């Protein structure tokens, strides 16, 4: 019989107003299975319900507007049909005692004209094309050249985040995570490699962190700071993200988030997204010291390193991404020391149930026998 482990990972905690039964979060995972109208696939109900034992599910990145889409068949949160479909997902997760929030996404320049409304091109802080590819009906293609957002368009953009947050709550989510990571729009404003603006949103660190704070404040004022979190990725190269000096940039970004009273959490990808944790020298402990609220750490953690991060007080929750794809019962497998299954890379993006809802779980009784 395998005895369960009752470490800190399996203890309850609270992020803002959201009570978690354990400290394991499911990180957002793009799976490209939305149906017509950018509506979540009906299979998503089962997919997320299978993983509801996570203390918190952060649902896949979901675009706040048609212009915010960057990949084929990703879902939105701007239409009533999308809200109604997401409600079925949240109801299913809640029926299992789980908690689920939605990641609010605008890809900015990481897009292709074929994915956008007719006549539109991707938008960005500056008209600088990313050295990146995206997933279209033709497979992986180079992203399209963007145009710079006009200054008078930014208030409307912030309003789209505000409305998307309200829509997420209407769909039954327990909160939202503002996606400010992985080289997407807010991250593009943060970094001097993609932000060449000369107005109040460009140039200095103070100016480049302005949009982040304004978006998060707008979302927090709409649904409550206690239901609002943020995701950052200081050193990832994803989406052609790069900055000449990320340490002071992200420390100031987190200081500005800390000034928003009562934020539910900050969620940080350490290192390259889905890759090495030490790709660029960076002091994550110094970053963490800038925020007084709950902290979610992500990227490359296993059970032992997760427990160490929690025991030291560095993190309050650990997010696991790819491990949840092939292990819907990841919490139980970690608790009982059951080996993890590997996912099939050929079924990650697009398709149906195969590689999505057909990965097996092991029950607690079977584990203990």
For the annotated catalytic residues, the residue numbers are: 184
> Which DSSP helix (H) or strand (E) runs through 169?
helix 154-170
Alpha-carbon dihedral angle through residues 310, 182, 107, 353, given to the nearest 10 degrees? -70
Within 10 Å of residue 184's Cβ, how many Cβ atoms? 25
Measure the CA–CA gap between 129 and 148, rounded to whole angstroms: 10
DSSP designation for 172: T
Do 203 and 209 touch, CB atoms closer than 8 A?
no
DSSP designation for 364: H
> Which DSSP helix (H) or strand (E) runs through 204?
none
Nearest CA-CA partner of 154 in 205, 207, 83: 207
**Which residues, at least 6 apart from 178, have a Cβ–Cβ distance to it below 8 Å?**
103, 104, 161, 186, 215, 216, 219, 228, 229, 230, 231
Instruction: Write the DSSP string, 58-99.
Output: EEEEEESSGGG--STT--BSSSHHHHHHHHHHHHHHHHTT--
Do 37 and 28 touch, CB atoms closer than 8 A?
no
Within 10 Å of residue 291's Cβ, how many Cβ atoms? 18
Measure the CA–CA gap between 211 and 163, rounded to whole angstroms: 16
Query: In the numeric block, which tokens belong to residue 192?
Result: 């001097």
Measure the CA–CA gap between 5 and 24, rounded to whole angstroms: 14
Place of tokens 């084929």: 72
Measure the CA–CA gap between 131 and 241, rounded to whole angstroms: 9
6 half-sphere exposure, CB direction, 13 A CA radius: 1
């Amino acid at each position: 019989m395998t005895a369960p482990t009752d470490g800190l990972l399996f203890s309850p905690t609270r992020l803002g107003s959201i009570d978690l039964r354990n400290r394991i979060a499911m990180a957002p995972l793009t799976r490209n299975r939305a149906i017509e109208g950018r509506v979540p696939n009906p299979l998503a109900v089962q997919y997320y319900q299978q993983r509801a034992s996570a203390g918190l599910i952060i649902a896949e990145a979901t675009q706040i507007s048609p212009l915010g889409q960057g990949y084929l068949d990703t879902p939105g949160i701007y239409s009533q049909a999308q809200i109604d479909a997401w409600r079925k997902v949240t109801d299913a997760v809640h029926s299992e005692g789980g908690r689920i929030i939605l990641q609010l996404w605008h890809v900015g320049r990481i897009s292709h004209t074929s994915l956008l409304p007719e006549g539109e091109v991707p938008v960005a802080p500056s008209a600088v094309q990313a050295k990146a590819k995206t997933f279209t009906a033709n497979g992986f293609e180079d992203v399209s050249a963007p145009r710079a957002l006009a200054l008078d368009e930014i208030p409307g953009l912030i309003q789209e985040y505000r409305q998307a947050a309200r829509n997420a709550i209407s769909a039954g989510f327990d909160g939202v995570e503002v996606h400010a990571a992985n080289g997407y729009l807010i991250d593009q404003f943060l970094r001097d490699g993609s932000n060449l603006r000369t107005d109040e949103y460009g140039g200095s660190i103070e100016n480049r962190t302005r949009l982040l704070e304004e978006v998060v404040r707008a979302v927090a004022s709409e649904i409550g700071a206690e239901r609002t979190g943020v995701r950052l990725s200081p050193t990832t190269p994803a989406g052609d993200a790069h900055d000449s000096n990320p340490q002071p940039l992200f420390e100031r970004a987190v200081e500005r988030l800390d000034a928003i009273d009562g934020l539910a959490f900050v969620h940080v990808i350490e290192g390259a997204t889905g890759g090495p944790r030490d790709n660029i020298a960076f002091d994550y402990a110094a970053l963490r010291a800038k925020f007084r609220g709950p902290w979610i750490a992500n990227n490359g953690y296993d059970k032992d390193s997760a427990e160490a991060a929690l025991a030291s007080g560095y993190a309050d929750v650990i997010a696991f991404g790819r491990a949840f794809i092939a292990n819907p019962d990841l919490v139980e497998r970690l608790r009982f020391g059951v080996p993890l299954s590997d996912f099939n890379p050929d079924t990650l993006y697009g398709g149906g149930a195969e590689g999505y809802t057909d990965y097996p779980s092991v029950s607690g009784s079977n584990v203990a026998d």
